[in-house]
Amino acid sequence: MDQTFWTYLFVGLSFATYVGIAIWARAGSTNDFYVAGHDVHPVVNGMATAADWMSAASFLSMAGLIAFLGYGGSVYLMGWTGGYVLLALLLAPFLREFGKFTVPDFVGDRYYSTFARIVAVVCTLFVSFTYIAGQMKGVGVAFSGFLGVPFDIGIWIGMAIVFVYATFGGMKGVTYTQVAQYCVMIFAYTVPAIFISLIITDNPIPQLGFISNAAGEDISMLEKLNTVVTDLGFAAYTETDKSMFDVFAITGALMFGTAGLPHVIVRFFTVSSAKAARVSAGWALFFIALLYTTAPAVGAFARLNFVQTVNEATYISDDEDYASRAAEIEAAGGKPVPEWYKDWEKTDLLQYEDKNGDGIMQYRGPAAPDGLENEVTPNRDIFVLANPQIAKLPGWVIGLVVAGGLAAALSTAAGLLMVISSAVSHDLCRRTLFKNMDDKTELRVARLAAAAAVFAAGLLGISADKLGFVAQVVAFAFGLAAASLFPIIFLGIFWTRMNREGAITAMLVGLVTTFSYIYYFKFGGGTPDQYFLGVSPEGIGFVVMFLSLIVGAVVSLITPPPPQDVIDLVEDIRVPGTRKPHGSAEGGIAPDALHPAE
């Protein structure tokens, strides 16, 4: 049984499982559809949160970024992890105590304003659609790389699967599907890492292999990698070419953006209480750490394997018979281009240009000592998927990794689709435009909104092919969330004087400024020498976040304070179990968080 058989088997079984779970967990009410009935067990929610959180950017792209950016790529690891801790400790329990369905729901009632709710809906849609574009790009990479499916068609197949379990099961179906996806994902990520760690370092634990000596040599694996890449003219693996302030800004944007991501926040609304939200946050951190502590090792192993198998290999063109030509090259003492390279070359995610006409693949950095130009250009998103092939692992391991990559992309895409559909059906329709809408009609609108969001997400995924790596596309979403949503959530919980006018101004300043900066430098012709304070588009959300906080606070202080009901409510949610009804602050729909003291 070859690799294609195993790939189709694992992907087919995992897709059938997801659809089966969606049918079993079909949502029967808006409570089920938006927040899974508020009765998800903390351990189950922790696992679902980990799957929701670890997107295609984490599974596919993070190790690839670390592989090629080295120390500089660690900003993604630090920012995402730190942001999750910030969200779990600082915001999630208090948002759960507030007791609403969505982030715009919190904004609308906390800031006693329909207009604030609409602005929050706009911010949520901007963040979610930007984020989902990166996930769909990951789906396209996985399908095109292993199943021979064109990139665009792969995206539509992935969206069709998400459509089934998101529209039928709602948040309830998504929750239990994400649990299954986490199991697929963590197994698919760690099993190949163990095999490759054994091959490269003789140590079966990747986290320890990362800091161990290279197999059979008296030199550390990292020192060997540094020597290999610097000899080819690249920067040392343990160095970075980014300025310290830019590294700090990108880390900050990822960290505070995480704390403002609607699809992660809403997961804490699915448990029964603020105490359960804290417990589930702890479990989620444990499940996330299993993958995140493995990623640096996977990245380093991938870079070393890539250089050793591709550099100075003799290229075999498509019109030659690969097997016979490879045998001839080896008989002559040469190194043929590896078979895995030829497979991935068909996807256009690996490119070779024979600039000196010698038929040998020279992989070089900008400071190559021999003066040769680089002839090999890899897309960094492929390395987690291609790593098992590069290391010549069995076909079933490769099939497992493909299923894991698709699980990562689809789990986060489903969470984002739920946020988008709830923002439209609940916040825009039920709470703003059609306030007399009944539950049954709202549920139908939510399913229609989810279907429309699936279609729009597919189009965005195809466009994202032109935007670089998955993790970098996703980084823009974090910047938008950090600048627009985090300030008003943070101040809404911890500063009773924050009012409607301040919140609206802060969201608009954060969203418009960050989006304009990203658009100018990615599509408007801006160049790196024009960066404000040397900060790249990936990090600008962190800088604008402080501007939003200051503007929001100043506007609040020069305009009337919030009503007393709102002030009392904010003071209540900071003490678990003391939440009481507060008249106008409840916004017409009573919170379900009015539970007995824990």
By three-state DSSP, how is residue 391 classified?
Answer: coil
pLDDT at 557 (0 to 100): 94
Q: Look at the chain and count its residues.
A: 598
pTM across the whole model? 0.77
**Torsion sign, CA atoms 266, 94, 539, 505:** positive
pLDDT, tens only, 197-252: 998 899 999 889 888 888 888 888 888 888 888 888 888 877 766 677 777 787 77
d(CA 116, CA 495): 17
pLDDT at 336 (0 to 100): 93
pLDDT at 593 (0 to 100): 41
- Written as one string, the DSSP assignment of 223-255 is HHHHHHHHHTTPPPTT--SS-HHHHHHHHHHHH
- 254: Cβ–Cβ under 8 A, 6 or more apart, which residues? 75, 76, 78, 79, 80, 82, 83, 475, 478
All residue ranges of the chain with pLDDT < 50 are: 588-598
Residue 257 identity (one-letter amino acid): G
pLDDT at 589 (0 to 100): 43
DSSP lists the bridge partners of residue 351 as 377
